[in-house]
Structure 1
Amino acid sequence: MYSHSNIQISMRIKGFLSGIIIGLPLYLIFSCSSTPSTNQIPASPAKVSHADSSQTAPPLKTGAERLEKYMALLKNKKVALVVNQTAMVKQTHLVDTLLALGVNIKKILAPEHGFRGTADAGEHVSSYVDKKTGLPVVSLYGANKKPSSEQLADIDIVVYDIQDVGVRFFTYISTLYVVMESCAENKKELLVLDRPNPNGDYVDGPVLDMKLKSFIGMLPLPVVHGLTVGELTQMIQGEKWLKDSLVCKYTVIPVDNYTHTTEYILPIKPSPNMPNNQAIRLYPSLGLFEGTNVSVGRGTYFPFQVIGSPFTTDTAFSFIPVSIDGMSKDPMHMNKKCYGFDLRKTTYKKEFDLSYVINMYALTSDKAGYFGKNNFFDKLAGTTLLKQQIIEKKSAAEIKQTWQKDLAVYKAMRKKYLLYTDFE
């Protein structure tokens, strides 16, 4: 225990039936109960997973599962939980687990995608009362993203337990940051129950230019930051990144038997469009397309595993995004044929791979509209340079060289806050 005072596909193959939807839906449904969730990612038998670790490695225990390490911190206290569908203690949700143990939970604070993880990316989420538990669910992705003083007035301690994917523009770490800040401002304790980072075995990408700060990037981190949320909590405090150098009284419960070389297959989908490990591993590189006119497969059953647009016509693969309940209600290029590439069987690289965004720019017939009309691409990249470098036809190697100095400084800083054996 560490204490501190301080994100209708069809294949266009000759002879195949065009327009047929391929694949089976992976439903993103869960409820607070002791029954097993149906919202599970199948683990590859060749990898180490939370549910089925290899014979040579001791089983992982997430922070939430190490109840003996933190129950005393919750005794006789009024508790708020920052959780979503990933906050599981084996087969039981953390809310149910703590209620069964007599913990006085006053409310749930829900991040992007909501408490049950079914809202679209960027969708406004309203507050409500959970029918199962009777607990109020306060949205942190609606009227406000940061807990207000009023919302924490009846709380002694806030518990944060959300599975992250280790990418700067995945907004759960922005929620962590604003929760830390609110706890510091209102003199509330924070308990962070740590979980493995499925992209925690490398660090890459440009460090955020803070002039581009937004909720998809609030901290000076590279795109792939290589930290668990527990380690990031320590960095936020240690680097005095909270407003006015505020000090948050926090405790981190680390993952047992985890290192940054552990291949971790998430047992629960972290968001509606992260259906499997392939999507999670490709997400750091494909996430940039959210700032372009290229679809990443939202509106298919293979999001972040296919890319394409109506403006790319010289490819053998195509798909048609459609509205899918629980995944994407109004996807980009809905009901339009998008030409591009199928990456479902591509071997991912442990790097921020620029080849995808560079190649799709080269193939598009709409170069003027490729990056959109706003600066969302810049906010995702964390720099205004990348867009211009792609337009100027710089190679991936040339582009990557321009951020190495800042990345080296970050890597050295990161070492100070690690809780687990590193990958290098």
Structure 2
Amino acid sequence: MYRFIFILFMVIAGCTNQAQERSTEILLGAYQLEEYLPLLTGKQVGLSVNHSSLIGQTHLTDSLISLGISVKKVFTPEHGFTGTVSDGVNIEYDSSLSSYELVSLYGKNKKPTPEQLSGIEIMVFDIQDVGARFYTYASTMQFVMEACAESGIPIIILDRPNPNGSYVDGPVLDTALRSFVGLNPIPIVHGMTIGELAQMINGEGWLANGIQTELQVIKMKNWDHGMTYSLPVKPSPNLPDDLSISLYPSLCLFEGTIMSVGRGTDYAFQQIGHPEYPDTTYSFTPISKEGAKWPPYEDVVCYGLSWTGSQPQYRLTLQPLIQAYKEMNRDDFFNNYFKRLAGTNSLQKQIEEGLSEDEIRSSWEPALSNFKMKREQYLLYQ
């Protein structure tokens, strides 16, 4: 027993030192072992994690196992445990390579089944989100919450900063367009941490049949929504740095068009292009690579616009989309996926009709303001 307490003390001290090395102010949820380790001791534990689930340089899974916690299964989101698998690619694991079973929550199996949860007594979710409605890690969290609620399993969320958490913007999702890239009536940029969003999902009855899960959020210390935060690892293969993360809420809408967002290059979500874009001043050529297998326009020169080298700007803008639509002047500019990403049938029509960004923004009210008011009751940080 004394040896266990000593090891725990040393790990917590080490984690605190690592946190201070990376940030003199922010203490992430995962680092606060003293708050959640007692809840896991002596239980069969499930983890919903990926490569971002770190305590300093050590993965959460390894930290817990080293402390004698029984990790039974590990559930992973899109891009897999390593965070290197291309978008849209299903994952199969060889669980004989580890002491726990790995389960992919992507493709046809987005929600843990009762059989997959069998024997698990408590679930821990610790995945770095980027605060955009169509980023699928939050959808994975919701399905994990729902499955845990149905099986009577409590869930702990280890909170991490939202790098786009300083603002709220965009059209609120029409639930008729509900999909894996948008489950709830929230705007494109919701301005909430993964822990705050979990509380809203629970509190608003957005789980199936209005059920609620037994939820505990391990809050961060010394972080607020006005702070910038540079992620220590890429949250997914095609968000390489702070600039891509800040542009993602605006440029991801291009995934619902004929344009490339730079997948298959080193600057995904920092540039847009098409082989027939009329302005040929700037160009890039996508290639197949790890995390971007078979990208759109593979090995074909694309012309377009670039923000590479600029400073991150944490705001949502429609100007690139409006400009590209006008420049391309094609009836097939949008595809069927666009409405799912936008969360509304209106945005495509508004752009096609030539409305200005200000005119389009006015149509987001009063739903956007109503969301902001509702959001307030679930905030854990100011």
TM-score (normalizing by structure 1): 0.84
Aligned partner of 1:394 among 349, 355, 366:
355
Distance 1:50 1:292 in 2: 43
Q: For 1:121-140, what per-residue CA distance to the aligned partner results, in whole angstroms no more than 9, with x for missing partners?
A: 12112233163x33211010
Match of 2:130 in 1: 165
What is the match of residue 341 of structure 1?
Answer: 305
Residue 4 of structure 1 is matched in structure 2 by none
Residue matched to 1:417: 378
| Partner residue, 1:81 | 47
Counterpart secondary structure, 1:95: helix
- In structure 1, what is the equivalent of residue 295 of structure 2? 331
CA offset at residue 378 of structure 1?
0.4
Distance apart, 1:51 and its partner CA: 5.1
Task: Supply the distance in 1 between the matched residues of 2:107 and 2:356 (Cα, whole angstroms).
Answer: 40
The match for 1:104 is: 70
Candidates 340, 346, 356, aligned match of 2:320: 356
Closer, same or farther: CA 203–155 of 1 in aligned 2, 3 Å = same
Pair 1:387–1:117, CA change in 2 (3 A): same
Higher RCO (Cα < 8 Å, 6 or more apart): 1
Query: 1:330 is matched by which residue type in structure 2?
Result: W
Following superposition, the deviation at residue 350 of structure 1 comes to 3.1
Q: CA deviation at 1:59?
A: 2.2
**5 Å matches for 1:281-360?**
281-324=246-289, 326-360=290-324
Rate the CA distance shift 1:95–1:180 in 2: closer, same or farther, 3 A.
same
Q: 1:270 is matched with which residue: 228, 235, 241?
A: 235
Unaligned runs of 5+ residues in structure 2 are: 1-10, 12-18
1:206 aligns with 2:168: no
What is aligned with 2:199? 234
Q: Is the 8 A contact 1:126 1:142 kept in 2?
A: no
Q: Once superposed, what is the RMSD of the aligned Cα atoms? A: 1.4
Q: Following superposition of structure 1 onto structure 2, how do residues 107-146 of structure 1 map, counting pairs within 5 Å?
A: 107-129=73-95, 131=97, 133-146=98-111
The alpha carbon displacement at 1:67 in A equals 0.2
- Residue type at the aligned position of 1:230: G
**Structure 2 equivalent of residue 371 of structure 1:** 334
- Paired with 1:142 and 1:122, the residues of 2 have a C-alpha distance of 7
The SS at the match of 1:80 is strand
Between the aligned partners of 1:76 and 1:134, the Cα distance in structure 2 is 17
Cα offset for 1:284?
0.3
Aligned match of 2:7: none
> When the two structures are aligned, how many residues end up with a matched partner?
365
Please state how far the C-alpha of 1:347 moved relative to its aligned partner: 4.0
Question: CA 1:262/1:322 → structure 2, altered by over 3 Å: closer, same or farther?
Answer: same
Deviation at 1:100, TM superposition (A): 0.3
Amino acid paired to 2:301:
K
1:93 aligns with 2:56: no
In structure 2, how many angstroms separate the alpha carbons of the residues matched to 1:60 and 1:233?
21
Q: Counterpart in 1 of 2:365?
A: 404
Distance 2:244 2:250 in 1: 10
Q: Distance in 2 between matches of 1:92 and 1:192?
A: 18
Q: Is the 8 A contact 1:128 1:138 kept in 2?
A: no
Q: Residues of 2 paired with 1:311 and 1:291: CA distance? A: 17
Cα drift, residue 240 of structure 1: 1.1
In structure 2, the CA distance between the partners of 1:130 and 1:196, relative to structure 1 (3 Å rule), is farther
Unaligned runs of 5+ in 1: 1-33, 35-48
Residue identity matched to 1:186: S
**Equivalent position SS for 2:326:** helix
2:344 maps to 383
Shift of the 51–271 alpha-carbon distance from structure 1 to 2, 3 Å rule, reads: farther
TM-score by length of 2: 0.93
Aligned counterparts of 2:20 and 2:146: Cα–Cα separation in 1? 31
1:185 — aligned with what?
150
Contact 1:50–1:267 (8 Å) recurs in 2: no
Identity among equivalent positions (%) equals 47
Structure 1's consecutive aligned runs of 4 or more residues displaced over 2 angstroms after TM superposition are: 49-53, 345-351
Report if the CA contact (8 A) 2:243-2:313 is conserved.
Answer: no
2:165 alignment partner AA: G
Aligned 1:245-264 pairs, distance under 5 A: 245-264=210-229
SS in 2 for 1:339: strand
Counterpart position of 1:71: 37
2:88 touches 2:107 (CA, 8 Å); kept in 1?
A: no
1:113: Cα distance to partner? 0.3
- Secondary structure of the equivalent of 1:261? coil
State the secondary structure of the residue aligned to 1:70. Answer: helix
Residue aligning to 2:15: none
| Structure with a larger share of its residues in helix | 2
Residue type at the aligned position of 2:334: F
Mapped contact 1:322–1:334 kept (Cα < 8 A): yes
1:355 partner letter: Q
Q: Secondary structure at the match of 1:150?
A: helix
User: Aligned residue for 2:183?
Assistant: 218
CA drift of 1:166 comes to: 0.2
